[in-house]
Amino acid sequence: MSFRGGPVLGIESSCDETSAAVVLQGRVTGHVILSQDAHAVFGGVVPEIAARQHLAHIDGVVAQTLDEAGVRPADLAGIGVTAGPGLVGALLVGLNWAKGFGYALGLPVVGVHHMEAHLFANSLESPEATPPFVALLISGGHTLLLHASEWGTYELLGSTRDDAVGEAFDKVARRLGLGFPGGPEIEKLARQGSAGTYRLPRPMLSTREGPGDAGYFDFSFSGLKTAASLLIAEVEQAEGGDLDTARAHVAAEFQAAVVEVLVTKTMRAVEHTGCPRVLLGGGVARNGPLRERLAAALEPTGSMFAPSPRLSTDNAAMVARLAEYRLLAGQVDGLDLNADPALSFPGLS
């Protein structure tokens, strides 16, 4: 089966969003994201629940998407689906659905990498968001700093050595008694506080390092997460268990520490590569202070591309856009396509 051009259906089910989208020539014509709310009580995503929720809703999500796009299944020209990384049970729901649907209709199917799809999310809203660029991909499971010379050719500059930045936000939010996911909750609370009231470390920002040092571009958030937890315990002990008066200040300081690390590392990459174009992707890319600080750091000659909140979180529009690109390049997968929770980033060196 070959791709002759036309509407591409994208399917995303790597974590706790069941999403489908239709993209035609880089333009979204239909897009539905169903976020699962069954995990909030647990303070994190429960894999078994996520898979069952995907299975229960994927038919309806695709039907609603096709209706919104004004296309019939017979009008589709190809299908793209997230093959990894992610939760294996959740991935398998979307992947097997896409393969079955594609087989029944005689459509080419291509599996895509979830984090590479986050790169393509920007091009749906900003056609000029194309390589070369420095990319900061930040989510609940990933923290990656890349240089893209062209689509499909990526140089890994830095990554997290332990916790992803989104995971750190979630864990600190839980310790502060906030909801899930933690990033938006901390950002909201931080507006009421003052960074600097307390002091948290900025990990791996040693001024003695240079591009040749192993940690110059890498990240580490485990120690920062632990330091925040210890600070909260100290405040609770000093206040007799009452954290209310200090909660916003802790949130503001933690967010400020994370933003400073992310911006500093990204600007190191800009200087090292000589590329002043920066692209953000992933759920944490929604953070307002991060966008503001990075945009300011890039002035006056640099530029920043950041997707809208809807396209920052997990979504099928970015999957369909990347699938369209791969299908046009003649890349098609067979029925042996399988989910890989640790799928390697394609084209990465």
Rounded Cα distance between 110 and 82, Å, is 9
Indicate if the pLDDT at residue 71 is higher than 90: yes
* pLDDT given for residue 41 in this prediction: 65
* β-strand partners of 33: 19
Strands of the chain (E only): list them.
8-12, 17-24, 27-35, 78-84, 109-113, 133-138, 143-150, 153-159, 277-281, 303-305
Average pLDDT over residues 306-326: 97
Indicate if the pLDDT at residue 214 is higher than 90: no
Indicate if the pLDDT at residue 224 is higher than 70: yes
Average pLDDT over residues 109-136: 97
* Domain ranges (residues) in the chain: 8-120+312-328, 132-305
pLDDT digits (tens, 9 = 90+) for 333-342: 999 999 999 9
Band of pLDDT at residue 44, cut at 50, 70 and 90: confident
pLDDT averaged over every residue in the chain: 95
Average pLDDT over residues 83-93: 97
Indicate if the pLDDT at residue 154 is higher than 90: yes
Band of pLDDT at residue 349, cut at 50, 70 and 90: confident
Rounded Cα distance between 161 and 201, Å, is 16
Domains 8-120+312-328 and 132-305 equal at CATH topology level: yes
Helix (H/G/I), strand (E/B), else coil: 310: helix
**pLDDT > 90 in the chain, percent:** 88
Q: Find tokens 């398998």 and name the residue.
A: 92
* pLDDT given for residue 334 in this prediction: 95
Indicate if the pLDDT at residue 251 is higher than 90: yes
CATH number for region 8-120+312-328: 3.30.420.40
Burial of 196 (0-12, 13-18, 19+ CB in 10 A): exposed
DSSP string across 27-84? EEEEEEEEE--TTGGGTS--HHHHHHHHHHHHHHHHHHHHHHHT--GGG--EEEEEEE
* pLDDT given for residue 180 in this prediction: 87
Measured from the Cβ of residue 241, the count of other Cβ atoms closer than 10 Å reads 8
Indicate if the pLDDT at residue 198 is higher than 70: yes
The pTM assigned to this predicted structure is 0.94
pLDDT digits (tens, 9 = 90+) for 123-150: 999 999 999 999 999 999 999 999 999 9
Band of pLDDT at residue 241, cut at 50, 70 and 90: low
Rounded Cα distance between 320 and 12, Å, is 9
Average pLDDT over residues 81-96: 97
Question: Which CATH class name applies to 132-305?
Answer: alpha beta
